Amino acid sequence: MRLFDSKKLAELQQNTSNIRNICILAHVDHGKTTLADCLVASNGIISPKMAGKLRYMDSRKDEQERGITMKSSSIALYYCLEGKEFLVNLIDSPGHVDFSSEVSTAVRLCDGAIVVVDVIEGVCPQTQVALKQAWLENIRPVLVLNKIDRLILEMKLSPLDAYVHLTQVLEQVNAVMGELFATEILGRDVVTVKTKTHEQSQMNRDLSEWSTGLEDADDSQLYFSPDHGNVVFASAVDGWAFSVADFASLFASKLGIDESTLKQHLWGDFYFHTKTKQIISGAQEKAKKPLFVQFVLENLWAVYDTIAVRKDKEKLQKILDSLHIKLTARDMRHTDGKVQLQAVLMQWLPVAKAVLSMVCEKLPSPLEISEEKVEKFMCSQTERFDALPSETQALKSSFLRCSPLNDSPVIIFISKMFPVERKCLPQNRQQPLTAEEIAQRREQARQKHAEMMMQTCSLEEKKSIQNLSEADLSMMSTKKDEEQTSPLHLSDDVFIAFARVFSGTVKKGQEVYVLGPKHDPHQALEMLKNGQDINPNLKLKDLKSGQHITKVVIEDLYVLMGRELDEIDCVPAGNVFGIGGLEEHVLKTATLSTTVACPAFTELTLMAVPIVRVAVEPCQPQDLQALIHGLRLLNQADACVQVIVQETGEHVLVTAGEVHLQRCLDDLKERYAKVDINASEPIVPFRETIVVPPSVDMVNEAILDQHNAPKKAPGHEGDAETEALITIHTSNKQSTIKIRAAPLPSDVTTLLENNTQLLKAMDRHFNSNVENTRDSEEMSSEDAHNATLLTERTLKAINNLREELKKAFANAGKEWEGALEQIWSVGPRRCGPNILLNRVPGYKRSSVWEKFNKDNFIDPRAEYDSSFIYGFQLATLAGPLCEEPLMGVCFVVEDWILTSQQDSSEPVGSQPFGPFSGQIMSSVKEGCRRAFQAQPQRLMAAMYTCSIQANAEVLGKMYAVLARRHGRVLHGDVVEGSASFCVEAALPVVESFSFAPEIRKQTSGLASPQLVFSHWEVIEIDPFWTPSTEEEYLHYGEKADSANRARKYMDAVRKRKGLAVEEKIVEFAEKQRTLHRKK
Amino acid sequence: MSKIFTPTNQIRLTNVAVVRMKKGGKRFEIACYRNKVVSWRDGVEKDIDEVLQTHTVFANVSKGQVAKKEDIVKAFGKDDQTEVCKEILSKGELQVSDKERQSHLEALYKDIATTVSDKCVNPDTKRPYPVSMIEKAMKDVHFSVKPNRNAKQQALDVIPMLKTVMPLERAQMRLRIMFSGKEARKLREKIAKLAGTVESEEWNSGELSMICLIDPGHYREVDEIVRSETKGHGHLELLNVKEVTEGEEML
């Protein structure tokens, strides 16, 4: 039975000083959930016998199956310490790397953390991450050294060895803390030194100043030590835990030593002198047993030895008597020693007592929130707190007061949205019926049944009303209930916001502002001053860019009870709770407040960023809608998921890791989309380009002028030129076009690439006669802003771009002279990084920078101008290598001749090759292609910048993984004050699949990469290259197909698109001789 | 008595692909390896020994009858067997082998899917479907590839079939049409009928300028209307061949 009901809970919530919001952090499988189980069992929610086996907090099916926690969930617990009643909001968090985003959401809402460490495994990667996260969020940790039973039973250590082992583990943890501390102090130092140098540049800074920062800073509170009372020794699976204080009180009277002195000395290098009854230091030196071994561990070992190993029944009775424990008869009879052991220890040293006392004593209440933390919440590191509006700064005091009074503003932070099945909500849960209701329903059912019987009388005469069992009746009534409760077609899941009140009291029916993560109090306050108000009917999806506020009336408030939710009417400051009915207002995180002056809480510090990309699609094409809907829900439910719709129409799901991905796919299949889906590698785009002819070949030998030599002979001066110049006629021979392709200077390409939005806006502006509002709506959010101000801002930007391009062309050399004004068009899609240059003699067309007006422009060619441009657009959209867009290519039109103008006078039917405009289009396209092919062609690959945090010991393995995937290390540096390295590398996107799992596997999780798209890079190999010179044959052999990376990529794309690939169907003719089809 | 049949001096050819050619009233055949002839014709395979089983010109491969020398000289004007083999290889008729056919059909299937995905959009999102989805849908509607028709034709065939299993639409073209004259109003009606949606239109002193979205199938018709009925005064400008949403989007 539960120890307390919701009334009691509401009462406890009022007393802010007795609330503890804590979370459990640890490496995977160190026993977080088991520990949580023990604590939950102390409240009577689950049976103590089941604690550790049930894993109550793991409510998902796959969590239970895999045995790992995948989400953070909260439960409210009651604990009474020395007459004071405490409310502990315990959040269990996952330990697996893939779910570290869930840890972030948990940590944000807490004031303290229980860090669990497996004493066998010691400090693991995720332990470090957890400690770091706690440190970054300014929450105070306490330590639980778990699985001590394994030291006894598995490792079979002697008590003394175990003691030494424990001190070592403790030292490891403290070393991590020390490192974090040092890193921060040094980091702070750098900042202060920087500011100082301006003021005191004259001051001679000697070496001593270097170290002052570290020495001045106070780190006494930082470390874990049993005598400080912030360490608990436990075996959650056997249900026991103790702190030094527990044993101190036990032995103080026996030994006749003051309890507090004993507490001070029980842990450490002290021994007990039996004759003098004194505690003397230096146990190790004198080869004496330390106090901890003598009084604590040896006793424990003895209990284990008697009960679990020797199964000595008589001895057991003695122990029971001395500990004043009574076992039930059933436990006494039990043959399994382990069960008896657990029963004994659970009563002797209950986990909940040790852990929760420590939590209540050592961890801060919401009232003790530090100023530093508040400032961290309210403004990110890049901003200064002073820069916030004064109204906002005033809120700091409300944070610090954390008062539940009605006059203080309500501030709530929502750290995540989690899905709950609708039928699990307390409103929809079946209420236990009162006796009258049951009777009434029975009567109704009976009548109904009677009617039915009347109708089917002839058939089912035998069945009489009396025979109807109670079960049938209740079933019928529940069915009816269900019909009543779900009249509307609602989705099965509702989203509950996982939140904490930082100030004020939130009540049902209260109206609050929902402030999005990008909300800026400056703007909002200004808006309010201008008399704009927030439309209460707005929902998240109606919001335009720049708007981040909606209004909502709070409908449902819940106390989170692990798997269950309890309804509640109001929540005072300092509590963790759930809010229902916000799905349409909150995406992932948000701040709720009664004042818009409240700033949005700073973003969660995510330890893992989404990195594993897959393309998802439904197995049945008609399920696409359901899938999209499901993806939306998933996106809302998981902080660490990104869903991107790509240009190709693929839906790409980005997750933190393999396990996370698996969970997301399962969720999609079973919960959100409810359709079968396929996940596959997403399509990687490439670009095609041309380069200046290379001067060295693949083995770095200078290319001899063998084939260039004859061209340079007298009389062949312009040969190279003419070879690149392509002349093409339209099918009806009426027009001749001469085109040459040239690589664009890289500066120009980057400029064009970065300004696509601008070029697009410009094109739209010039192309649409009426500058209508439709355009501005269609444009992307950034652009919408621009379009309305096209006259001022965009024009300015365009002029900027022009200037910069001019500079870039000027730097590029003299062949680009005047190119800026000759730009005919850019492509593909009129905004890309390729240029069409107009060098047609006599065709003076205005450049792309001005509006092209053909009405006052009399040239027969003007009529086909748009076709010409379109041909160029088509050519740049799909290149000859593998039909991927071109990049950084300039097509120079040297000539364009129209011979006659007869088509307009001719009747329509007599155009044998289709409309003339179409012919121009296709011949321009063909011409561009051929001009492109006449140059050395290259493939461009998309590149990620990959920043990797890694320990020194795994650095080598990490480089190996990078090298295998053609990555290039840009730079690597050691992070000041710690032993980890920060390496930056460039990695081709094509090679990035399963990069994250591989690097994690190779480095045992000690290196965590982050990938961000950075740029396009030319792959330096000619996709058509085969060894041709002597040296190349020597180096690569005759076939050389292993080395040509560009060829491999190109063929893969061509194959995917169904284009012809230069590949033999069968490599060796002889080898297929005995192949039978049916074999 | 006939010659004693001795299998040892007989060269048996297995897995033969025969390429035949009739020239000068005579039939010539050569024995090639399977799955190699198409590669040779595409220029991918450059080693003749990987293609030919033997450099002999036969009158009938299966019977092992070698062509007579004078016939070869008469028909081809040369007696170098290898040269004649090469000519037969490039000009003769061949039987397409299993893998050759399979790879051809596979490539064509992918090409069709790519074309469809290129030409069509999801009407709800105005975004293309990924190729893999189109391929799957093509399988669902039991579309069979015809090896002798090109990808574009077959893509146009398959689009109506695909519409039965998924919401699919041809991506529309955006055109700007400008014309004037007396019949402008009548013309406008005609075009508006063909056009899916008229985005904007503007009358300017008797000249109409309209921007509309049309199905690419109607492009020729519109072009002809504008060309013939306005007698060259109309003007048609292609603004965008494919009206699709571009760029990436975060959900």
At residue A706, the pLDDT reads 46
At residue A999, the pLDDT reads 86
SS3 string of A975-1040? CCCCCEEEEEEEEEHHHHCCHHHHHHHHCCCCCEEEEEEEEEEECCCCCCCCCCCHHHHHHHCCCC
Q: Which of B227, B233, B245 to mutate to test the interface with A (most CBs of A within 10 A)?
A: B227
Question: Do the chains contact at B44 and A1062, CB–CB below 8 Å?
Answer: yes
The number of C-beta contacts closer than 8 angstroms across A and B is 155
Give CA separation, A192 vs A182, A187, A200, A383, in Å: 15, 9, 12, 16
User: Coil, strand or helix: which one is A419?
Assistant: strand
Q: Which chain A residues are closer than 8 Å to B247 by Cβ?
A: 647, 780
Which residue in A42, A16, A24, A18 sits closest to A91, CA to CA?
Answer: A24
Give CA separation, A9 vs A13, A14, A412, in Å: 6, 9, 20
Neighbours of A82 (CB within 10 A): 7
How many Å apart are CA A296 and CA A585, to the nearest integer? 55
Q: Which of A1039, A1066, A1067 to mutate to test the interface with B (most CBs of B within 10 A)?
A: A1066
Taking residues A144-168, what's their average pLDDT?
89
At residue A449, the pLDDT reads 78
Q: Which chain A residues are closer than 8 Å to B223 by Cβ?
A: 915, 917
Please check the confidence at residue A396 and state whether its pLDDT lies above 50: yes
Q: Which chain A residues are closer than 8 Å to B133 by Cβ?
A: 617-618, 621, 624, 649
At residue B155, the pLDDT reads 93
Q: Which residue of B has its CA nearest to A1056?
A: B110
DSSP-derived secondary structure for A822-839: HEEEEESTTSSSEEEEE-
Question: Do the chains contact at B132 and A617, CB–CB below 8 Å?
Answer: yes
At residue A696, the pLDDT reads 72
- Tell me the shortest Cα–Cα distance from B47 to chain A, in angstroms: 11
Smallest Cβ distance to B35: which of A621, A767, A1065? A1065
User: Which pLDDT band holds residue A189 (cuts at 50, 70, 90)?
Assistant: low
At residue B87, the pLDDT reads 92
Question: Do the chains contact at A1057 and B14, CB–CB below 8 Å?
Answer: no
A476-490, A542-556, A731-745, B141-155: segment of lowest average pLDDT: A476-490
Question: Do the chains contact at A635 and B140, CB–CB below 8 Å?
Answer: no
Question: Do the chains contact at B239 and A767, CB–CB below 8 Å?
Answer: yes
At residue B144, the pLDDT reads 92
Question: Do the chains contact at B127 and A645, CB–CB below 8 Å?
Answer: yes
Q: What residue type is assigned to position A627 of the chain?
A: L
Please check the confidence at residue A678 and state whether its pLDDT lies above 60: yes
Smallest Cβ distance to B114: which of A620, A646, A1057? A1057
Please check the confidence at residue A839 and state whether its pLDDT lies above 60: yes
Q: Are A142 and A113 in contact (CB under 8 A)?
A: yes
How many Å apart are CA A363 and CA A380, to the nearest integer? 25
At residue A559, the pLDDT reads 86
User: Which pLDDT band holds residue A1026 (cuts at 50, 70, 90)?
Assistant: confident
At residue A63, the pLDDT reads 85
pLDDT digits (tens, 9 = 90+) for A329-363: 777 777 777 888 888 888 888 888 888 888 888 88
Question: Do the chains contact at A774 and B250, CB–CB below 8 Å?
Answer: no
Strand duo A570-571 + A506-507: pairing: antiparallel
How many Å apart are CA A748 and CA A522, to the nearest integer? 38
For the ranges A287-291, A441-445, A471-475, A777-781, the maximum mean pLDDT occurs at A287-291
Q: What are phi and psi of B80, to 5 degrees?
A: -70, 110
Please check the confidence at residue A487 and state whether its pLDDT lies above 70: no
Q: Which of A632, A684, A1064, A1078 to mutate to test the interface with B (most CBs of B within 10 A)?
A: A1064
As a whole-number percent, the residues of chain A with pLDDT over 70 amount to: 81
At residue A717, the pLDDT reads 39
At residue B105, the pLDDT reads 92
DSSP state of B160: H
Question: Do the chains contact at B122 and A649, CB–CB below 8 Å?
Answer: yes
At residue B31, the pLDDT reads 92
Q: Which chain A residues are closer than 8 Å to B140 by Cβ?
A: 620-621
Question: Do the chains contact at B15 and A1056, CB–CB below 8 Å?
Answer: no
Q: What are phi and psi of A761, to 5 degrees?
A: -60, -40
At residue A126, the pLDDT reads 81
Question: Do the chains contact at A643 and B248, CB–CB below 8 Å?
Answer: no
Question: Do the chains contact at A1069 and B130, CB–CB below 8 Å?
Answer: no
At residue A266, the pLDDT reads 85
Q: Which chain A residues are closer than 8 Å to B250 by Cβ?
A: 642-645
Question: Do the chains contact at B228 and A870, CB–CB below 8 Å?
Answer: no
DSSP-derived secondary structure for A918-969: HHHHHHHHHHHHHHHHTSPEEEEEEEEEEEEEEEGGGHHHHHHHHHHTT-EE
Q: Which chain A residues are closer than 8 Å to B251 by Cβ?
A: 628, 631-632, 635, 643-645
- Alpha helix positions (H), A293-336: 298-304, 313-323, 329-333
Q: What are phi and psi of B7, to 5 degrees?
A: -65, -20
Q: Which of B97, B119, B237 to mutate to test the interface with A (most CBs of A within 10 A)?
A: B237
How many Å apart are CA A818 and CA A815, to the nearest integer? 9
- Tell me the shortest Cα–Cα distance from B158 to chain A, in angstroms: 15
Taking residues A550-574, what's their average pLDDT?
84
Question: Do the chains contact at A1062 and B125, CB–CB below 8 Å?
Answer: no
Smallest Cβ distance to A1059: which of B111, B122, B166? B111
Q: For residue A885, what are its two tokens?
A: 């867009």
Q: How far is CA A935 from the centre of its chain?
A: 44
At residue A906, the pLDDT reads 44
Q: Which chain B residues are closer than 8 Å to A770 by Cβ?
A: 200, 202
Q: Which chain A residues are closer than 8 Å to B42 by Cβ?
A: 1060, 1062
Q: Which residue of B has its CA nearest to A757?
A: B247
Question: Do the chains contact at B166 and A622, CB–CB below 8 Å?
Answer: yes
Greater confidence (A422 vs A303) lies with A303
Please check the confidence at residue A971 and state whether its pLDDT lies above 80: yes
Which residue in A515, A558, A665 sits closest to A73, CA to CA?
Answer: A558
Q: Which chain A residues are closer than 8 Å to B239 by Cβ?
A: 767
User: Coil, strand or helix: which one is A897?
Assistant: strand
At residue A203, the pLDDT reads 46
User: Which pLDDT band holds residue A707 (cuts at 50, 70, 90)?
Assistant: very low
pLDDT digits (tens, 9 = 90+) for A853-894: 555 556 677 777 878 888 888 888 888 888 888 998 999 888
Q: Which chain B residues are closer than 8 Å to A1056 by Cβ?
A: 110, 131
**Which residue matches tokens 């809120």?**
A395
Q: Per DSSP, what are the bridge partners of residue A409?
A: none
How many Å apart are CA A311 and CA A341, to the nearest integer? 10
Q: Which chain A residues are closer than 8 Å to B136 by Cβ?
A: 617, 619, 621
pLDDT digits (tens, 9 = 90+) for A1047-1068: 888 888 888 887 888 777 888 8
At residue A920, the pLDDT reads 86
Strand duo A1008-1018 + A968-974: pairing: unpaired
At residue A640, the pLDDT reads 82
pLDDT tens digits, chain B, 251 residues: what are they?
Answer: 566 666 666 677 778 889 999 988 899 999 998 888 988 998 888 889 989 989 999 999 888 889 999 999 999 988 899 999 999 999 999 888 888 899 899 989 999 999 998 888 888 888 888 888 899 899 989 999 998 899 999 999 999 999 988 888 888 888 878 777 677 777 778 877 877 777 777 777 777 778 888 888 888 788 777 777 766 667 777 777 777 776 666 66
**Which residue matches tokens 């399509």?**
A683
Q: Are A163 and A266 in contact (CB under 8 A)?
A: no
User: Coil, strand or helix: which one is A1041?
Assistant: coil
At residue A312, the pLDDT reads 80
How many Å apart are CA A645 and CA A615, to the nearest integer? 9
At residue A817, the pLDDT reads 78
Taking residues A402-415, what's their average pLDDT?
82
At residue A541, the pLDDT reads 63
DSSP state of A915: -
Question: Do the chains contact at A1065 and B131, CB–CB below 8 Å?
Answer: no
Taking residues A756-765, what's their average pLDDT?
77
pLDDT digits (tens, 9 = 90+) for A717-730: 344 445 678 888 88
At residue A775, the pLDDT reads 39
Q: Which chain B residues are closer than 8 Å to A1074 by Cβ?
A: 14
- Tell me the shortest Cα–Cα distance from B110 to chain A, in angstroms: 4
Q: Which residue of A has its CA nearest to B199?
A: A774
At residue A483, the pLDDT reads 41
